[in-house]
Structure 1
Amino acid sequence: MKNSDLQARFNAIRSNKIFELFVVSIIIFSALVIGAKTYNLPPYLQSTINVLDVGITLFFLIEIFVRFFGEENKKNFFKSGWNLFDTLIVIISLIPVSDTEMALVGRLIRIFRVLRMISIIPELRLLLNSLLKALPQLGYVMLLMFIIFYIYAAVGSTFFLNINPELWGNISISMLTLFRVMTFEDWTDVMYETMAVYPLSWAYYLSFIFFTTFAFLNMIIGIVVNVLEEERQKERREEEALENAGQPTLEDIQQELVEIKQLLKKQSGQ
């Protein structure tokens, strides 16, 4: 069998939707196996889970080989960060560390195998890539949010220290208290406690909630959604470019018409 035929078969396997669904199901099953290891199980069940773990690792190794040999240009396989991540996770999972000091590291690596679902499902890759590309814009929003947190924490520590030192003892503890307020975790208890001494302190909490929960968090969501839409449009343009590849453009058609006219003029002149 020629290498091109073998590569075409591997490419057909890895592009098959049934194969992709089967890989996703194995990843989910792997997550369940990892979760089962956290329970106190009888020895025979523990041995069965260990055998299943080895089988899952071997399957992932075969799946990596299928994806690698299905790539027309083998160098392109290693240009993808997701392929490198998957390969690294599988290779490290093959190292026997159960009876060594690296057993904890081995378990952690097996936990990260669940992240392989992101590399398999395109929609998850799109979400993660959008989030990563939104980080520069999110950084400025987070910086502004930190400034608001710092100012309100300093004010709260100044006025409410004598009311409850456990919540307003210093600026770092005050920031943790404000995070509790922002997430609405029993924040009214904190507010009513200070209102007993400062009746107008409700304005402090409501203004803080408005700036953080309502304003900044909505800004973060808006930025992520905007970047996500841009990534989707970029993918659509790339797909359209691939579909239109090889088809004549308007400029090509106009150039051909000009050449045909010149040819007809030459023939009529003769």
Structure 2
Amino acid sequence: MSELSARPVLPLAEICQRIVAAPLFNQVIIGLILLNGVAVGMETSTWVTERFGDFLHGINELILAAFVVEALVKMAAHGNRPWRYFASGWNCFDFTIIALSLIPAAGPLATLARLVRVLRVLRLVSAFPELRLLVDTLLRSLPSMFHIALLMGIIFYIYGVAGYFLFHEIDPTHWRSLPIALLSLFRIVTFEDWTDIMYTAMEAMPWAWVYFVSFVVMGAFVMINLFIGVVLNNLEEAKLRRLDELQLPPSQTEILRELRATQEALARLQKRMQDIPLEPAEKTPGGSAR
């Protein structure tokens, strides 16, 4: 009884920090997200909703309550500064989905409420560090992708105008105006039966293949490889940043927590040493103590 009373009472923030840091906590949240995805998918079946509609509704309410508790625990883990929960973009993403999930599933917003249930599956992205790394990489690649898209837009415009002047009389279906010409170029760059357009133009202009082949090489192979190269480069940089974050020195809170744990372990060890009875010293045949 004395040993239990000697243990210090942990503050709420530290208890919540231990809960959030526990692997089981994240595994439970992932399981609930997967269960939510299965429940939403089953609601698309009329046969299932007619027989198990109330059961699925109960599961939805239970999952929503669990997500609300999760957000509150993570906020409480920051102690007297719960607003630091919103310092993480992924926490803001999760909180937005949870807040939207509170929309009532009846009335004019019923359709929106059902769509939000589907969006909860997106929380799997924030639950897995590997998926977060990929999303962060894509977001960091957007500025470079914008410049590549601008260059691709210039190439599309040049080839679109040239295609209009060259082929609008031969093949008005695909080249009768600049917007239609650009749409045809998009079809070509996606390799969707683009040879049909080329052969139609080659019936009147045998050298038209130069136009189409050069555009495929420029628009498809070069540009797509540029996009891939930018993403891979940013992915490597994101991995290096993550390694640097893992190698950061421990914070003051972590040091104090480890120091407190060490002090508690030393106190328990000292108490055990005090409880061990001392054995009497043995005497030698000569009468002296050994």
Q: TM-score range by the shorter chain?
A: 0.7 to 0.9
Paired position in structure 1 for 2:21: 15
Q: TM-score, normalised by structure 2?
A: 0.77
- The question of 1:210 aligning with 2:217 is answered yes
Q: Deviations over 1:59-85 (max 9, x none)?
A: 211222222223354232121122122
2:241 to 234, 241, 245: 234
Structure 1 stretches lacking a partner, 5+ long: 248-270
1:76 and 2:88 are equivalent in the alignment: no
Alignment correspondent of 2:208: 201
Higher mean C-alpha deviation, range 223-232 or range 19-28: 19-28
Identity of aligned residues (%): 35
Alignment partner of 1:78: what SS? Answer: helix
Shift in Å, 1:90: 1.0
Please give the per-residue CA displacement for 1:176-199, whole angstroms capped at 9, x wherever unaligned.
111111111111222222222222
1:6 matches 2:12: yes
C-alpha RMSD of the superposition:
2.5
Q: Which residue of 2 aligns with 1:85?
A: 93
Moved over 4 A (4+): 1-4, 243-247
Give SS of 2:87's match.
coil
Q: Show CA shifts across 1:6-26 (max 9, x none).
A: 333322222222322232222
Query: Residue type of the partner of 2:94?
Result: D
Three-state SS of the structure 2 residue aligned to 1:95 is coil
Tell me how far 1:3 sits from its aligned partner. 7.9
* 1:24 pairs with 2:27: no
Q: Is the 8 A contact 2:103 2:109 kept in 1?
A: no
Q: Cα distance 1:28–1:166, how it changes in 2: closer, same or farther (>3 A)?
A: farther
Higher relative contact order (CA 8 A, sep 6+): 1
State the AA in 1 paired with 2:227: I
Matches within 5 A, 1:52-71: 52-71=59-78
Greater Cα offset, 165-174 or 134-143: 165-174
| Among candidates 119, 130, 138, match of residue 131 of structure 1 | 138
Choose the corresponding residue for 1:95, options 88, 103, 115.
103
TM-score (norm 1): 0.82
Give CA deviations for 1:108-130 in whole Å, capped at 9, x if unaligned: 22222122112221121121112
- For 2:208 and 2:93, how far apart are their aligned partners in 1? 51
Larger Rg: 2
Q: Please say if 1:146 is aligned against 2:142.
A: no
**C-alpha displacement at 1:244, in angstroms?**
10
The one-letter amino acid of 2:126's match is: S
Aligned counterpart in structure 1 of residue 123 of structure 2, from 116, 120, 138: 116
Any idea what SS the aligned residue of 1:159 has? helix
Secondary structure of residue in 2 paired with 1:185: coil
Cα distance, 1:35 vs. partner? 2.5
**How far does residue 31 in structure 1 lie from its aligned partner after superposition?**
2.1
Cα deviation, 1:109-167, whole Å, max 9, x if unaligned, reads 22221221122211211211121112111111100000101111111222222333232
Aligned partners of 2:251 and 2:10: how far apart in 1? Answer: 26
SS in 2 for 1:162: coil
Letter matched to residue 45 of structure 2: Y
Give the counterpart of 1:36 among 37, 42, 51. Answer: 42
The superposition leaves residues 183-233 of structure 1 with CA deviations (integer Å, 9 ceiling, x where unpaired) of 111112222222222222111111111112111111111111111111211
Q: 1:255 matched to which residue of 2?
A: none
